[in-house]
Amino acid sequence: MFHETLSQNDWAGMTYSEIRETARADGSVVVVPVGSVEQHGHHLPVATDTILVDAVVHGGVEHLDDLPVLVTPPVWTGFSPHHLPFGGTLSLDFAHLQAVLEDVAHTAIENGFDAVCFVNGHGGNASLIDAVVSTTGVEADAEVVGTTYFQLATDEIGALRESEIGGMAHGGEFETSLMLALCPELVGDDREAHLWDEQYDWGGQDLLEGGPLSVYRGFDEYSESGAIGAPELASAEQGERFYEVLTEELAALLTAVHEHNR
Protein backbone atom coordinates (compact mmCIF):
# COMPACT_ATOMS: atom_id res chain seq x y z
CA MET A 1 0.00 0.00 0.00
CA PHE A 2 1.37 3.37 -0.98
CA HIS A 3 -0.55 5.84 1.17
CA GLU A 4 1.62 7.05 4.04
CA THR A 5 -1.41 7.34 6.29
CA LEU A 6 -4.71 5.49 6.19
CA SER A 7 -7.89 7.49 5.67
CA GLN A 8 -11.27 6.78 7.19
CA ASN A 9 -12.26 5.02 3.96
CA ASP A 10 -9.36 2.53 4.00
CA TRP A 11 -10.42 -1.05 4.62
CA ALA A 12 -6.95 -1.86 5.96
CA GLY A 13 -7.13 0.67 8.78
CA MET A 14 -10.51 -0.41 10.17
CA THR A 15 -11.61 -3.10 12.59
CA TYR A 16 -13.76 -5.93 11.29
CA SER A 17 -16.79 -4.57 13.14
CA GLU A 18 -16.34 -1.14 11.54
CA ILE A 19 -16.13 -2.76 8.11
CA ARG A 20 -19.30 -4.78 8.69
CA GLU A 21 -21.11 -1.66 9.93
CA THR A 22 -20.16 0.22 6.75
CA ALA A 23 -21.28 -2.73 4.62
CA ARG A 24 -24.75 -2.70 6.23
CA ALA A 25 -25.43 0.84 4.99
CA ASP A 26 -27.66 1.13 1.92
CA GLY A 27 -25.69 1.21 -1.30
CA SER A 28 -22.37 0.24 0.26
CA VAL A 29 -19.47 -0.11 -2.20
CA VAL A 30 -16.02 -1.66 -1.86
CA VAL A 31 -13.42 -0.38 -4.34
CA VAL A 32 -10.50 -2.59 -5.37
CA PRO A 33 -7.57 -0.83 -7.10
CA VAL A 34 -5.63 -3.18 -9.40
CA GLY A 35 -2.18 -2.25 -10.69
CA SER A 36 1.05 -3.93 -11.76
CA VAL A 37 4.78 -4.01 -11.16
CA GLU A 38 6.47 -3.68 -14.54
CA GLN A 39 9.13 -1.66 -16.32
CA HIS A 40 8.23 1.92 -17.27
CA GLY A 41 11.35 2.99 -19.11
CA HIS A 42 14.41 4.58 -17.52
CA HIS A 43 12.54 7.43 -15.80
CA LEU A 44 9.59 5.86 -13.95
CA PRO A 45 9.49 3.23 -11.17
CA VAL A 46 8.18 -0.26 -11.83
CA ALA A 47 5.25 0.33 -9.44
CA THR A 48 3.93 3.28 -11.47
CA ASP A 49 0.62 1.62 -12.37
CA THR A 50 -0.09 0.63 -8.77
CA ILE A 51 0.94 4.01 -7.36
CA LEU A 52 -1.27 5.89 -9.81
CA VAL A 53 -4.40 3.75 -9.57
CA ASP A 54 -4.20 3.82 -5.76
CA ALA A 55 -3.83 7.60 -5.78
CA VAL A 56 -6.67 8.14 -8.26
CA VAL A 57 -9.00 5.88 -6.27
CA HIS A 58 -8.25 7.66 -3.00
CA GLY A 59 -8.61 11.03 -4.69
CA GLY A 60 -11.97 10.00 -6.12
CA VAL A 61 -13.25 8.76 -2.76
CA GLU A 62 -12.16 12.02 -1.12
CA HIS A 63 -14.63 13.83 -3.41
CA LEU A 64 -17.53 11.77 -2.06
CA ASP A 65 -19.87 13.21 0.52
CA ASP A 66 -19.75 10.69 3.38
CA LEU A 67 -20.93 7.71 1.33
CA PRO A 68 -20.45 4.09 2.52
CA VAL A 69 -17.47 3.42 0.25
CA LEU A 70 -14.33 1.57 1.37
CA VAL A 71 -11.05 1.10 -0.50
CA THR A 72 -9.06 -2.11 -0.21
CA PRO A 73 -5.26 -2.21 -0.40
CA PRO A 74 -4.22 -2.31 -4.07
CA VAL A 75 -3.68 -5.59 -5.86
CA TRP A 76 -0.15 -4.75 -6.96
CA THR A 77 0.72 -7.65 -9.28
CA GLY A 78 -0.84 -7.55 -12.73
CA PHE A 79 -0.74 -9.54 -15.97
CA SER A 80 2.41 -8.24 -17.64
CA PRO A 81 4.16 -10.93 -19.73
CA HIS A 82 4.73 -8.41 -22.54
CA HIS A 83 7.11 -6.44 -20.29
CA LEU A 84 9.26 -9.35 -19.07
CA PRO A 85 12.05 -8.93 -21.67
CA PHE A 86 13.23 -5.72 -19.97
CA GLY A 87 13.50 -7.15 -16.47
CA GLY A 88 12.13 -5.57 -13.32
CA THR A 89 8.66 -6.96 -14.02
CA LEU A 90 6.61 -9.24 -11.76
CA SER A 91 3.64 -10.90 -13.43
CA LEU A 92 0.94 -13.40 -12.53
CA ASP A 93 -0.58 -15.97 -14.85
CA PHE A 94 -3.88 -14.73 -16.31
CA ALA A 95 -6.01 -17.46 -14.70
CA HIS A 96 -4.19 -17.07 -11.37
CA LEU A 97 -4.80 -13.32 -11.22
CA GLN A 98 -8.40 -13.82 -12.32
CA ALA A 99 -8.90 -16.27 -9.44
CA VAL A 100 -7.30 -13.84 -6.98
CA LEU A 101 -9.61 -11.01 -8.00
CA GLU A 102 -12.67 -13.28 -7.96
CA ASP A 103 -11.80 -14.35 -4.42
CA VAL A 104 -11.30 -10.74 -3.33
CA ALA A 105 -14.71 -9.82 -4.74
CA HIS A 106 -16.55 -12.81 -3.28
CA THR A 107 -15.10 -12.35 0.20
CA ALA A 108 -15.81 -8.60 0.13
CA ILE A 109 -19.41 -9.36 -0.77
CA GLU A 110 -19.61 -11.88 2.09
CA ASN A 111 -19.06 -8.94 4.43
CA GLY A 112 -22.38 -7.54 3.23
CA PHE A 113 -21.43 -4.95 0.62
CA ASP A 114 -23.98 -4.13 -2.06
CA ALA A 115 -21.41 -3.56 -4.83
CA VAL A 116 -17.78 -4.15 -5.76
CA CYS A 117 -15.97 -1.80 -8.13
CA PHE A 118 -12.63 -2.85 -9.62
CA VAL A 119 -10.54 0.14 -10.74
CA ASN A 120 -7.74 -0.94 -13.04
CA GLY A 121 -4.50 0.92 -13.69
CA HIS A 122 -2.72 -1.31 -16.23
CA GLY A 123 -3.68 -1.84 -19.87
CA GLY A 124 -2.69 -5.50 -19.75
CA ASN A 125 -5.30 -6.11 -17.04
CA ALA A 126 -8.25 -4.64 -18.95
CA SER A 127 -9.63 -7.82 -20.52
CA LEU A 128 -9.00 -9.69 -17.28
CA ILE A 129 -11.03 -7.15 -15.30
CA ASP A 130 -13.87 -7.52 -17.81
CA ALA A 131 -13.74 -11.28 -17.31
CA VAL A 132 -13.81 -10.98 -13.52
CA VAL A 133 -16.81 -8.65 -13.65
CA SER A 134 -18.70 -11.32 -15.62
CA THR A 135 -17.58 -14.43 -13.73
CA THR A 136 -18.10 -12.83 -10.32
CA GLY A 137 -21.24 -10.93 -11.22
CA VAL A 138 -23.10 -13.99 -12.48
CA GLU A 139 -22.61 -15.73 -9.12
CA ALA A 140 -22.76 -12.86 -6.64
CA ASP A 141 -25.73 -11.44 -4.79
CA ALA A 142 -24.32 -7.95 -5.37
CA GLU A 143 -23.40 -5.72 -8.27
CA VAL A 144 -19.89 -6.06 -9.71
CA VAL A 145 -18.48 -3.34 -11.99
CA GLY A 146 -15.06 -2.51 -13.37
CA THR A 147 -13.27 0.34 -15.10
CA THR A 148 -9.79 1.32 -16.21
CA TYR A 149 -9.13 4.75 -14.72
CA PHE A 150 -7.35 6.26 -17.73
CA GLN A 151 -10.39 5.46 -19.88
CA LEU A 152 -12.46 7.80 -17.71
CA ALA A 153 -12.94 11.34 -19.02
CA THR A 154 -11.00 10.71 -22.23
CA ASP A 155 -12.48 13.77 -23.93
CA GLU A 156 -11.44 16.06 -21.09
CA ILE A 157 -7.96 14.56 -20.85
CA GLY A 158 -7.61 14.69 -24.63
CA ALA A 159 -8.37 18.40 -24.60
CA LEU A 160 -5.58 18.97 -22.07
CA ARG A 161 -2.86 16.90 -23.72
CA GLU A 162 0.24 18.49 -25.24
CA SER A 163 1.31 15.47 -27.29
CA GLU A 164 -0.04 14.14 -30.55
CA ILE A 165 -1.78 10.75 -30.70
CA GLY A 166 0.78 8.19 -29.57
CA GLY A 167 2.33 10.48 -26.98
CA MET A 168 0.25 9.16 -24.09
CA ALA A 169 1.32 5.55 -24.29
CA HIS A 170 3.38 3.52 -21.78
CA GLY A 171 5.46 5.91 -19.67
CA GLY A 172 4.52 8.83 -21.91
CA GLU A 173 3.09 12.29 -21.27
CA PHE A 174 0.10 11.04 -19.26
CA GLU A 175 1.75 8.73 -16.73
CA THR A 176 4.87 10.87 -16.38
CA SER A 177 2.81 14.00 -15.69
CA LEU A 178 0.77 12.21 -13.03
CA MET A 179 3.91 10.88 -11.36
CA LEU A 180 5.51 14.34 -11.43
CA ALA A 181 2.43 15.70 -9.66
CA LEU A 182 2.08 12.88 -7.11
CA CYS A 183 5.56 11.41 -6.56
CA PRO A 184 8.14 13.71 -8.20
CA GLU A 185 10.97 12.17 -6.19
CA LEU A 186 10.47 8.90 -8.08
CA VAL A 187 10.76 10.42 -11.58
CA GLY A 188 14.15 10.29 -13.27
CA ASP A 189 15.64 12.59 -15.88
CA ASP A 190 16.36 10.01 -18.60
CA ARG A 191 13.11 10.17 -20.55
CA GLU A 192 14.18 8.20 -23.59
CA ALA A 193 11.06 6.93 -25.36
CA HIS A 194 9.71 6.08 -28.78
CA LEU A 195 6.36 7.00 -30.28
CA TRP A 196 4.00 4.07 -30.67
CA ASP A 197 4.44 2.53 -34.10
CA GLU A 198 1.59 0.05 -34.55
CA GLN A 199 1.75 -1.86 -37.81
CA TYR A 200 -2.02 -2.28 -38.07
CA ASP A 201 -4.32 0.68 -38.71
CA TRP A 202 -6.89 -0.90 -36.36
CA GLY A 203 -4.52 -1.21 -33.42
CA GLY A 204 -4.42 1.12 -30.43
CA GLN A 205 -2.17 4.19 -30.49
CA ASP A 206 -1.96 5.22 -26.83
CA LEU A 207 -3.78 4.95 -23.49
CA LEU A 208 -6.58 7.27 -24.63
CA GLU A 209 -6.79 6.09 -28.24
CA GLY A 210 -7.50 2.37 -28.28
CA GLY A 211 -8.30 0.47 -31.45
CA PRO A 212 -10.68 -2.39 -32.28
CA LEU A 213 -7.84 -4.87 -32.88
CA SER A 214 -5.98 -6.75 -30.14
CA VAL A 215 -2.38 -7.64 -30.95
CA TYR A 216 0.22 -9.37 -28.79
CA ARG A 217 3.81 -8.18 -28.96
CA GLY A 218 6.53 -7.83 -26.40
CA PHE A 219 7.26 -4.20 -25.58
CA ASP A 220 10.85 -4.65 -26.73
CA GLU A 221 9.45 -4.72 -30.27
CA TYR A 222 8.17 -1.16 -29.80
CA SER A 223 10.86 0.55 -27.77
CA GLU A 224 14.52 0.13 -26.82
CA SER A 225 13.97 1.90 -23.49
CA GLY A 226 10.62 0.31 -22.63
CA ALA A 227 8.83 3.69 -22.64
CA ILE A 228 6.48 4.66 -25.45
CA GLY A 229 5.12 8.15 -26.02
CA ALA A 230 6.26 11.70 -25.31
CA PRO A 231 7.38 11.93 -21.66
CA GLU A 232 9.46 15.01 -22.52
CA LEU A 233 6.18 16.96 -22.71
CA ALA A 234 5.12 15.96 -19.19
CA SER A 235 4.86 18.40 -16.30
CA ALA A 236 3.63 18.42 -12.72
CA GLU A 237 1.11 21.14 -13.62
CA GLN A 238 -0.30 18.93 -16.37
CA GLY A 239 -0.42 16.01 -13.96
CA GLU A 240 -2.41 18.04 -11.45
CA ARG A 241 -4.97 18.88 -14.14
CA PHE A 242 -5.21 15.24 -15.22
CA TYR A 243 -5.60 14.11 -11.61
CA GLU A 244 -8.43 16.53 -10.86
CA VAL A 245 -10.40 15.48 -13.93
CA LEU A 246 -9.89 11.77 -13.25
CA THR A 247 -10.79 11.89 -9.56
CA GLU A 248 -13.93 13.92 -10.19
CA GLU A 249 -15.05 11.47 -12.86
CA LEU A 250 -14.35 8.46 -10.64
CA ALA A 251 -16.29 10.11 -7.81
CA ALA A 252 -19.26 10.54 -10.16
CA LEU A 253 -19.06 6.87 -11.12
CA LEU A 254 -18.90 5.67 -7.50
CA THR A 255 -21.81 7.92 -6.56
CA ALA A 256 -23.85 6.38 -9.39
CA VAL A 257 -22.98 2.84 -8.24
CA HIS A 258 -23.99 3.75 -4.69
CA GLU A 259 -27.31 5.27 -5.78
CA HIS A 260 -28.12 2.33 -8.08
CA ASN A 261 -27.65 -0.18 -5.25
CA ARG A 262 -29.51 1.57 -2.44
66-90 pLDDT, tens digit each: 999 999 999 999 999 999 999 999 9
- Contact 91/84 with Cβ under 8 angstroms? yes
Name the amino acid, one letter, at 181.
A
Count of domains observed in the chain: 1
Cα separation, 185 vs 177, in Å, equals 13
How far apart are alpha carbons 32 and 180 in whole angstroms? 24
Q: Is 53 domain-assigned? A: yes
Residue at 38 is within a domain:
yes
Q: What is the model's pTM? A: 0.95
**pLDDT for residue 49:** 98
> What pLDDT was estimated at residue 2?
46
Q: How confident is the model at residue 158 (pLDDT cuts 50, 70, 90)?
A: very high
Residue 260 lies in a domain: no
The CA-based diameter of the chain, rounded to the nearest angstrom, is 54
Tens digit of each residue's pLDDT (9 = 90 or more) over 207-258: 888 888 888 888 888 889 999 999 999 999 999 999 999 999 999 999 999 9
Which residue would you say has higher pLDDT here, 158 or 196? 158
- Report if residue 25 sits inside a domain: yes
Tens of pLDDT, residue by residue over 121-150, are 999 999 999 999 999 999 889 999 999 999
Print the domain residue range for 220.
14-255
**CA atoms of 194 and 65, how far apart (whole Å):** 42
Give 64: exposed, middle or buried? Use CB within 10 Å, 0-12, 13-18, 19+: middle
Please check whether residue 56 lies inside any domain of the structure.
yes
Residue 65 falls within a domain, yes or no?
A: yes
Rounded to 5 degrees, what angle do the CA atoms 163, 168, 169 make?
A: 140
Question: What CATH number is given to the structural domain containing 134?
Answer: 3.40.50.10310
Q: Is residue 156 part of a domain?
A: yes
Task: Report if residue 114 sits inside a domain.
Answer: yes
Question: Whole-angstrom Cα distance, residue 256 to residue 200?
Answer: 37
